[in-house]
Structures are given as structure tokens and as C-alpha cells.
Structure 1
Amino acid sequence: MASEAAAQMNFQTMEHPAPMPIDQRTQVLLTPGFGTQFTDHMVSIEWSDTRGWHNGVIGPRHPIQLDPAAAVLHYAQEIFEGLKAYRHPDGTAALFRPEANAKRFNDSARRMAMPELPEEMFLEAIRLLVEKDNGWIPEEEGSSLYLRPFMFASEAFLGVRPAKRYKFLVIASPAGNYFKSGAPAVSIWVSSDYTRAAPGGTGAAKCGGNYAASLVPQAEAIERGHDQVVFLDAAERKWIEELGGMNLFFVFDDGRVLTPALTGTILPGITRNSLITLLREEGLTVEEGRYSLEQWREDATTGKLVETFACGTAAVVTAVGRVSGHDGEFTIGTGGPGQLTQKMKDRLTGIQRGLVADSHGWVKKLG
């Protein structure tokens, strides 16, 4: 059914009348930053309850015109994804596990009462944009083309019900390091006043509201000199869940690795899933379970915990060196990246960039 829908979508191509000059684009790609520069084109598809998915277009990136009563502005029906295109040594472009993003996108859509997008249509939209803006993929180490597919309710109405019209778009942004400091390890602030998600809520959906709720505690973390905030569970305020936009892993001196279990309040990260597979291939025991803040502090203090790292599409794998909260501060290991953290980062980024053999079929070449 999905394949049939994708085959029926004939994307209209609209040429950009004034794309960024190549010399200017080259300068942008030398220091792209993260999420501040954008490519020339975008993809858009519309959905309505009467026509389904229609009007697929790849054309110049431009502002979106919305009615003031558009449902997304009042009831927050909005979801998004994040993935990257990489330049491989042979000059081709490649994606990392895009079908997993397509699946998670639809998981989010169902939770937010939005229409599902056929996975083949999602993948074709990504392919078209990367193909069109291929020259925007940076080649510097650690850089990539960040892709942002998203969908929002565009129907103009006031009333609490699922909208009957939606827009799906894909935009792209050349990206360097996610953390501006470039530090070998990040420090995090434990939020004891705010929680990210509660059981039965939208914690497992990649929707804007989850991130909006994290902005105040994230600002608090930055004001206190930290890079990120870590959230505890909403019920007992004791169990570690995740950072504002990344999952966590804990490495112990006996070779065990623990990551918080997916209980519906944590985003099921694709990087997280990939690392679990790679860690087990290293012969390590990986557990998915609960880990308290108190135990985290004790294990770090006694040396039982030797490493902690965060992971996500944007930052990939990042060591956590210092943890602070209202109850004090503790350091993990030496305060810098540990041996396993660096090894897993090198292996994962090596697969993504075509430098390490991909035995799982995760890398999708685009030519």
C-alpha cells in the first residue's frame, strides 16, 4: 500500500531562480556551525482528509504562509525528525538508517493524531533534497548535511480535534559540531524542579512540545555553566531518564553498560539503538533498566562507574565529565572521554562516513 502511494506521488520540480553562489557556499561550508545556515531547496507535500497525500514539490526554500488560525499555532500538532547525509571518500552521499527515521516519524504521527506518511514517500523526499543540494554536503571531518523532515497541522480552525489538513516539509542545513565549546566532555545539570515527560504523555514522540518544555531547565543549566540538562522521572524524581535531546549510557568497571529503558517517557533514539548493537558486538553486556541519581553519584565516587556518555543524531557520541545539581557535584572518571566512549564514537562515525565496514546494512548510498 505504501509503495503504491509513493509510486503515485509525482514530485514537481521548481528551479531556484537565484541559488547561493558557489564561492559564498564554499565559505559557509568551512564553518557551518549548527542549524544556522540552510540550503537552497526544500521538499513539501500536502495532506487532506479528502485527497490524502498530494502536491509533492521540490523547489526553492521559502517562507511558509499560514493562516492565523492554523491548528499548529493553537494545538501544537507538530512532529519532526533529524538525520544526516555524509560525504563518503568516493565522493558519494550516504544516509544512516533513514528507514528508522521514517518509522519513528510515523510512531510520532500516531501519538499526535496525525496522518502517517508512507515510508517510501518519506525516503524519496529525503533522497530528492540531498540529490538537489548535494553540493551543500560539507567534507570537513565531523561535518555533515543535517536533514529536518517535519509535519504540522495547517487547517484553519479553532476547536480541540485532530486537524484535517497537514503539510510535510524537508529542509537541510550544513552542520559542524553540535557543542560550540568543542570540549572533550560536557557537563550537565540535574533538573530537580522540572521534568521532561510523564507516563502516558508524549515523551516517546518527537514533537516540538517536548523540546519547548526543556528550554527553561536547559537555560538554567547554561546559566550555571553547564552544557546540558538531565531529567529525572516525573513520578519519583529519582530515576535518570535522558538529556534535553540525547540518550545516556553508563559504563561500569566490570564491563557492563546500562542505558535507561524505553518506558514511554524516553525518546527511542536511533543512535541509542545502533550503539546497543555495536556494544554487544564488542562482547559487552548491555542492560536496559533503571538507574537512580543517588546510585549514579555513588558509583562515580567509588570508581565503579568509569564512563558516562550521551548520544543522539546531532552530537553523535559525547562524553559526560561532570554532573551538578542542588545536592552537589561529582566527576565521572577523569572528567574527560573514556576509552570505550571514544572507541564507540570512532566506530559509529566511521560507519556513517564510509570509513568502517557496515555489516548491518545501515548506510544507504545515494550516488
Structure 2
Amino acid sequence: MRGELSLVADCKVVRFDAAFDITRETIGAISDVTLARRDAVTAMRRAFAELNGADVPIICLLRNTSENGLRDAKNLGATCCLSAHTPPAMVARTMMTQVIQDRADRPVRSIERGVARATEVLTRLFDGARSNGPVALAQVDASLEPIIEAVRDGGLTRWLDRVWTHDDATYQHCLLVAGVAAKFSLHLGFSASDRNHFVRAALLHDLGKARIPLAILNKPGRLDEGEMTVMRTHPVIGYEKLKAAGCDALTLGAVRHHHEMLDGSGYPDRLSGDSIGDTVRLMTICDIYSALTEKRAYKPAMPNAVAMAILSDMKGRLEDRLVQSFGEAMGNGS
């Protein structure tokens, strides 16, 4: 078996009860252990958990290929089961097929994981904000890398396609802005720390909408003057909520000021010019673009070119140089 596998990739044989050394170069694993032994099952459950965490295919060779045997192997985390009597060359070919398919499917799985993690975090945050409960910032931080990896590995187009299926309009918008922010920060070459800060602010920027009546949030079409007055309270509500939770100043600034404009026409503090920091300038562009291109039951998604034309026409309100760079990011591949 080792000889056949070594023809296509480096192969290391490890005893079932030995410590596993999973590396970024690990592309797959084959279990050739009798699962009828209790100690073997315990050891393989631990090993399979590490392998599943590494997101690689696992072939399990079975002495018992009954329905129960297959179920036990799948429950442990096997992605494919073969008879232990399968010729080694066939096992090697099956592994390579699994690896090729795994790499093809990985971007989609990455998108699903990123959206699922971010949605779970948003649900807890908004539920807590509505009930005046605590904001768990550690949960937010745990969702950032999956979002960035999903956009980097699967592309923004896949992220947007998946997010557009979300039923809740506010969650959809937060997820859209987070994905767009991840794409923009990758294009700008931000450090890992700066990327995380920017995507964190994007995910949290509309937390204050948790306290806005649903009739206003979900109203199709334009809001009237009174409804707009209520809607415009959300940046301060989110800011106060996150400030009480000990949120960092960079995120707080983006949450409070993402509707400010360079000419002073924005809200809630009518900031202008140099009083608006770089993070807010970037976030405002991501927020407007996401609002323009999001899908609703009453309107289709606006094409990228039209949305970019609108952003470009907002001269004096948005920074031209950043809008141009943003357009390059949105047009730079999928």
C-alpha cells in the first residue's frame, strides 16, 4: 500500500495509537484499522477529528462492509469506505480521485462554512442587542478568518451568490458588507491584523438595526421622513452597545460614522474632510456598494458597473482615489 501511494505522493505510515502530525501539506489519509476493537475506535475518532479539521479526504478500509460497518466508519468521519481486500493500486487511484474532487469542492465548502459561522454570530449578536443582553466579541473574532478565507478561496462572486439567498435583509446586508470588505482588504494588501479589524467592523457596522422596528427595516421602497429619522439612529445605538462591551476604538468609529460623507452631508455627527478617518472612508464605500447591489424581493441586484458608476458620481462625498481602487478590487477576478 505504501509503495503504491508513494508513486503519487509522499506517504507516511502512522500507528493508530500514535500522535498524528497534521500539516498544511497533508492531502488525505487512509485508515487500515479493525474498527471492531474498542481501543481502535477511540484512537480513530481522535485521529479522524484532526483530519476532518484539516479538511482532507479519509478512506477507511473495512473488514466488515455491512451496513453497520459502513455507518460506523461514516460516523467516525470517513469520506469514503472500501473493502480491506481492495488491491493497493485501486486504493491509491481512489485516493487521488478523492483529492482532486476535494480540491474542486473546497471553495464551495469554504463559502458555506464562512456564511454559516458569520450568520450564527450575527444571530447571537442581534438577539442579544434586541433583548439588551451582552455582546460576545470573542465570538465575532472567531468568525473573521472563515469569512476572509471563504472570499479568498471561493471568490467574492460565490460569497455574494450564497449570501443573496439569506431570508433576513439585515443579516444579508451585514454579510454582503463583510464579504466586500474582505475582498477590498485583500486587494489593498492589508496585514492579517488590519484585515481582521476591517472585516470585524463590517460585520458589526449595522448592529444598531437590532433596535429598529421591523416595519421600518423591511419596508419595500423609500422610507418617509419620520421613518428615516428612526432609521438614522442605528449607528449611535450600535456604537453605544459595542462601547459598553469594551469594543476597540477602530471598530467603534466605523460603526458610528459609516454614514458620514466628506462634504459633511452625512450622519449622525455631520463629520467632514479630515475628521473622517481612513477606515470609515473605506467602510462607507463598501456599505453603499453592498446596499446598491443586494437583492430584495422587490428589486433585483444592481449590476456591478451601474453601482460603480453611482459611486464614481459621488464626488466630494466619497474619496475618488479609494473609489477607483475599490472598482479595481471588484473587477479583479471573481
Q: Does the TM-score normalized on the shorter chain lie above 0.5? A: no
Which structure's relative contact order is higher, taking Cα pairs within 8 Å and 6+ residues apart? 1
Which of structures 1 and 2 has the bigger CA Rg?
2
Return the TM-score normalized by structure 1: 0.24
Q: Which has the higher strand share?
A: 1
Q: Which has the higher helix share?
A: 2
